[in-house]
Structure 1
């Protein structure tokens, strides 16, 4: 007779999962205590009501016991409430350990251009416990805050540079490297530097961080699509400059407007393709452009320039743009209408259709 051994695979929970479970338990206990408190207070109110009604079956012991229970549950509820903040802090720290997205964001940029940070030839390490050896240590103690609808991140990161033999480090170079990240448009960065026994330590507050592949919901929000289209149109119109217009009926009324007018016809997702936890999204934007002062060929040029500049940018709520192109332009010429306000010349323009492909990591 032979026996078959079944191999059991144990799933090891991450620090974040364990901390999240602990926080859930603590919050559940607080809800339980609040319910118990409500019940205990109700019992006291019921006994008092019976006494006021002349019920002699309610003894002094009954009343004292019920009131004591209210106080007992009150102390337990206070303890449960105090346990929530430490559990939230523990989850925050665990999330930073398991998913140091901002530390990784900074580390990747240091590795890509170590000269810009003055740390050429030094290893870059994320969330290291031992920081005694020479290297660049990028540490994240608190979880990254991410806007669910846009994927934009914020938080704090610490950078410690340990040099061989404690050689002095010019913290200004590291600060300049971080300033370069802000200049690139990838994030807003505020920093401070202080000497450390073996080098220098820099604290960086990051906001409006645009990750290479943002984490977003599976469904693209309609407002994100509309804002994306309007931002594109604003960029196109901005290239045409402004003009001052005078009312046809009131010579004292003048207004400054963009020389290129626009109207968003629509913005929609036409295709979504999943590959693991990432998704490639195709977005179509349709809009109208017109102008009485800018030639149609210049409008077309400005349009293609703005669309081309989308590549590599992060479209909030949609993803990192990988490709963008103008797929159609339908020219139109509108003759002026006699007596129409703010019209003193014919208008040229037309309807434009743009297609964009973006990549996002799907939340959950």
Structure 2
């Protein structure tokens, strides 16, 4: 994989020299939508609500308002309108798993947002999609590897009226699977380089607590050569629930992930062809404000990610053998 231009973060601002900006998702999701592009645009427009005017945000999109924090109104009105069923522990777990599986695919860019299915899912599960603000002009750097090998997607937030929690989601996907397949050095079922990293950085969560259950979830991508795929495209591979690096819970979480190629009876698939991160915060997140950013870094050969440090104002990844790692890829910085 070829390297992109170096990107650094100083005092909360990205320094991006001679940047070529790429789309946050540079190829079509693996799961095609039954809605056309025009229909998706129409569905989106018809499901965006002004929560100051609308009585019910359940199943809808509420946008960030730069003049007023609308998150407390989202929570208040969603709770008033939620049709909550009494669930036993097993049913609650089943509901959580269903949401995680669907949102993992949405966050990774493997499935299209704003379709009929998407809005039905929000409504049926008493969820609100909170769309973050526009990318910060002073610090945006929506990057991909050379040739758009990887797309790192912008973060977004959902509010769950049943649990009263806020979930921050983000993810990435390889848009060119020949890139990682070519890095295996003719080995087949092998780890590509050393561990990669994926995570979400928040400048602050105020007094909100990061709840247990945060994770990074991998999704398989099949080997791209004719006849050597495993039929695993888009299926869940492994979940990592241990955070890594020097990051306070107010500032999100980073995870180390193993982009190993697995063999399946003659076919092959890579565990982290795409991936997502979920951070869950308690009800106090309604009063939080700051910037959210999705980060991803990939290694091959002898490249290594050695250290991650984050605080309110900065984010740093230290590497060994930098020539065989991507620079830090980001999905832009967005206000919540």
Instruction: Calculate the TM-score normalised by the size of structure 1.
Output: 0.25
Instruction: Calculate the TM-score normalised by the size of structure 2.
Output: 0.26
Larger Rg: 1
Question: Normalized per residue, which structure has more helix?
Answer: 1
